[in-house]
Amino acid sequence: MNKLTSNPKLNRWIEEMAALTRPKNIYLCDGSEEEYKRLAHELVQAGVFVPLQKKPNSFWCHSHPDDVARVEENTFICSKDKEDAGPTNNWKDPAEMRQILQTLFSGCMEGRTMYVIPYCMGPLTSPLSRFGVEITDSPYVVLNMKLMTRMGKEALAHMKEFVPGIHSVGVPLKPHEKDLKWPCNPHNRWIVHFPEDREIWSFGSGYGGNALLGKKCLALRIGSAMGRDEGWLAEHMLILGLTNPEGEKKYIAAAFPSACGKTNLAMLKPTLPGWKIECVGDDIAWMRIGSDGRLYAINPEAGYFGVAPGTSMKTNPNAMLTFTKNAIFTNVALTEDGDVWWEGMDGSAPAGLTSWLGEPYDPASGKPAAHPNSRFTVSAKQCPIYDKEAENPEGVPISAILFGGRRASTLPLIAESFSWAHGVLLGASLSSETTAAAKGEVGKLRHDPFAMLPFCGYNMGDYFAHWLEMGRKTTADKLPHIYSVNWFRKGSDGKFLWPGFGDNSRVLKWIFERTSHKAKATKTAIGYVPDSLDLQGIHVDVKSLFHIDREEWLQEVDGLEEYFQRFGEHFPMELKLELAQLKKRL
């Protein structure tokens, strides 16, 4: 085999993977526009992509009906010691897992092209960035990685060390055999991480978070293990820049479970006059303490892989303007005139839709036209409010961190923690009603600490301790303020108490002013709540939004005590004390 690159370690690994998977061809991706257009054209010819007349250089496609979300039950953290994976991860002995993978990957790329994708997570010259190489037999993955990462020649030129990741759809092709439109192997899916070896193996799924290895696999599962070892944080968080009418700017990071409104908040259009929001990132933040003692964050991604349903000009106009061109839409509905549609988009469903299954859509079926977890993939640079500091290699200074999920009751609209340790308890206590972003039952309440339950690459008890340790690396006055938020509280009539969307800027204004020591607050058992919010122009039931039901909260604490027992002696004593103090205050 000719040497593909000037990196000997990379060449050896490519040779090893080629010998194992036996592809028909090997292709090194350069990340060029020409390459993108050529591969997209090949997918159009194969009937996988449908070009969209209404959105230049954009495509519609649909997956296999059983390859539509992350598969947490098939996701493994293969640390050397089972204890290190902890109770929230699936674990297998690394040696045993490697044997399974060797068997699975043997000949799995026969008849296919092996694409080698060098990529960078974060701005190319940032000391906070990390490099990866994904080997895949899926051109769909190549095109999405082009939009989601800094991929190709430039990444390769800057790369010294890299995280190797191999992905296969798990469907070898015999000579003259016609390929499937969406090849995948739903009965044999494995998303495997070796945190000590910094290595990723993914088999059987062609979908998003299972197949785009820079996203959840490197940026969070391997990233969190790197962060633990190197003294930084890899988090499932959006980053936004908030500017007040006087021109003062602050940055806020926020962790919400998937499909709980992260993208909507990251691209918010404030309803408050004179306030401005800019988007650094909508899903992942890598954060470390800077030389001035403040916490700095970069968004390691270069694009958005956003949930489409519910996105509209009303809920997220900036997202709608971001994907008017150069976008890939997966599992949404297709209109007769060559556009896309999904539930929650402005206006009713147009006639003549093709559903996400690729069939004529029948509104009488009662089924959605777009899959609830259907997605758009698009470059972040197309966002009309993309923050120019998103490309700053040093990152942006974080003034506040928010934790929030979908909770119909108990949690008030917002509460501020008393301290960093209390804030870590707020993050560890996060729970949310489940959504369609992961396979399984929707609407069930589940614990999701820091919104990292499916993404933490090591023992979550140690992860809590790592957060506490980060707080000891600097002085309290330089640490971000920490908040719990809940946009989803409902009244006795079952309706949402808070309008949400653009009106969330009213809550952000209070946070902004709290971090400047200007806004007043009332101390409650669970944290500081606003003395007053800017509610000009809206009518809300403030009393219900901030009602703290003592009985409900005591039940919440009991539930947390029980949940935290799972982590045994890995659960930090400092958090036990915080929880005991909360109980005492109640």
CA 356 to chain centre: 22
Do the strands 199-203 and 163-168 form a parallel or antiparallel pair, or are they unpaired?
parallel
Side chain identity at 28, as an amino acid letter? Answer: L
Count CB neighbours of 30 within 10 A: 14
CA 468 to chain centre: 23
- Which residues participate in catalysis according to the annotation? 260
DSSP E strand stretches across 372-513 = 375-379, 396-404, 414-416, 431-433, 445-447, 481-485
Closest CA to 391 of 302, 499, 471: 302
- Alpha helix (H) residue ranges in 123-202: 139-148, 153-158
Could you say which DSSP state residue 90 is in?
Answer: B
Could you say which DSSP state residue 354 is in?
Answer: B
- Cβ pair 484, 548 in contact under 8 A: no
Closest CA to 428 of 585, 228, 272, 579: 579
**How far apart (Å, rounded) are the C-alpha atoms in residues 456 and 88?**
9
- Cβ pair 65, 153 in contact under 8 A: no
Paired with 150 in beta bridges are 120
Closest CA to 526 of 559, 497, 562, 550: 550
Give burial (CB, 10 Å; 0-12/13-18/19+) of 274.
exposed
**How far apart (Å, rounded) are the C-alpha atoms in residues 193 and 84?**
13
**How far apart (Å, rounded) are the C-alpha atoms in residues 221 and 215?**
9
